Structure 1
Amino acid sequence: MTSLTPENPVFATYMIAASLMVLKIMGQGWMTVYRMLKSDAGLVSPEDLQVGIINKNPRPEQLEIIDYVDRSRRMHRNDLENIPAFLASGLLFVLAGPPLWLANTLMYGFVAARLLHTLAYATKQSHEMRATLYTVGSLIVIFMALYTLAAAL
């Protein structure tokens, strides 16, 4: 069986998990844009204060940091710091030929940890809660990388 086809159940798991995480990254970007439009604030660059189709009445206070927008921006940045490592490590992990139960546990575990991290961030949970969920996802990616490394050696 070729490793990188949907007929390989481990790769199919990766396809699902990776697709969900790509949608998560892209969706969080759109959430930030939505929040900027809804609040008419949270812009980041001085050139954003030019008159345009959407921003018909630019004002200097639109550049002020507001938590409603910035929280979404921080969540997006956090995704961009974590999900690409999963995408790379997960693909290599598939090539290492792990058992399906292990791939399911790790890959869906990562997806769950990231979604719960987002929920914790969105609902203003403590840093300890977010750090715990980050740690779970991080350890999963590290384990997959070490598993792959061991298989390659």
Structure 2
Amino acid sequence: MDGISLQNPLMETYAIAACLMILKAVSMSWLTVWRMIREKGGYRSPEDLRRTRLNPSPDPRQIEPNERVERIRRIHQNDLENIPFFLVAGLLFVLAEPPLWLAWLLLYGYVASRLLHFVAYFTAQTHDMRANLWTAGSLILIFMTLWALVAALVA
């Protein structure tokens, strides 16, 4: 194995999956701002009601919860609760040198589950739909973590 190098196909697979998940999580901040600007509301802090170039007509209702903005915040919160575990578990899994086909299946499977979870949440699908997609990602995390744990225990 080429170790921690992008010349290593396992590490390359992890790097791609990790970068996609980081970009997805970071993009939620941008999506929140875009949604607040579009809705002209959903702000959180009293100082957001000051007249500025971006908010020329402040209104006290702008700091009231806005469901369309809050939905994005909930998606972002869910990412922040889940993606860091993937980043660590995925790295440990790759360091345990699984077969490349298994790394592709699990790492990209996790990415797919998170992207589908986003679509389901963004389009207001039922909790059951979101829960199924979350469960798939969670089971992948558990499997990768156990694989790495067993590899570390027998090393």
Task: Name the TM-score, length of structure 2 as normaliser.
Answer: 0.95
Say yes or no: does 1:55 pair with 2:55: yes
1:52: Cα distance to partner? 2.3
1:3: Cα distance to partner? 1.8
RMSD: 0.9
Q: Which residue of 2 aligns with 1:103?
A: 103
Q: Which residue of 1 aligns with 2:150?
A: 150
In structure 1, distance between residues paired with 2:32 and 2:97: 38
1:37: Cα distance to partner? 0.5
1:56: Cα distance to partner? 2.1
State the SS of the aligned residue for 1:55. coil
Moved more, 76-85 or 51-60: 51-60
Moved more, 53-62 or 132-141: 53-62
Mark the runs of 5 or more structure 1 residues left unpaired by the alignment.
Answer: none
Q: Is the 8 A contact 1:93 1:148 kept in 2?
A: yes
Identity rate, percent: 56
Mark the runs of 5 or more structure 2 residues left unpaired by the alignment.
Answer: none
Q: Which residue of 1 aligns with 2:74?
A: 74
1:54: Cα distance to partner? 1.2
Q: Is the 8 A contact 1:3 1:94 kept in 2?
A: no
List structure 1 runs of 4+ shifted beyond 6 angstroms.
Answer: none
1:124: Cα distance to partner? 0.8
In structure 1, distance between residues paired with 2:33 and 2:94: 35
Amino acid at match of 2:65: I
Deviations 1:34-72 (A, max 9, x none): 000111100012222222231222211001111111111
1:2: Cα distance to partner? 2.8
In structure 1, distance between residues paired with 2:149 and 2:21: 23
Q: Which residue of 1 aligns with 2:9?
A: 9
1:150: Cα distance to partner? 0.4
Q: Is the 8 A contact 1:51 1:58 kept in 2?
A: yes
Deviations 1:85-125 (A, max 9, x none): 00011111111111101100000000000000000011111
Matches within 5 A, 1:82-101: 82-101=82-101
Task: Name the TM-score, length of structure 1 as normaliser.
Answer: 0.96
Amino acid at match of 1:57: S
State the SS of the aligned residue for 1:72. helix
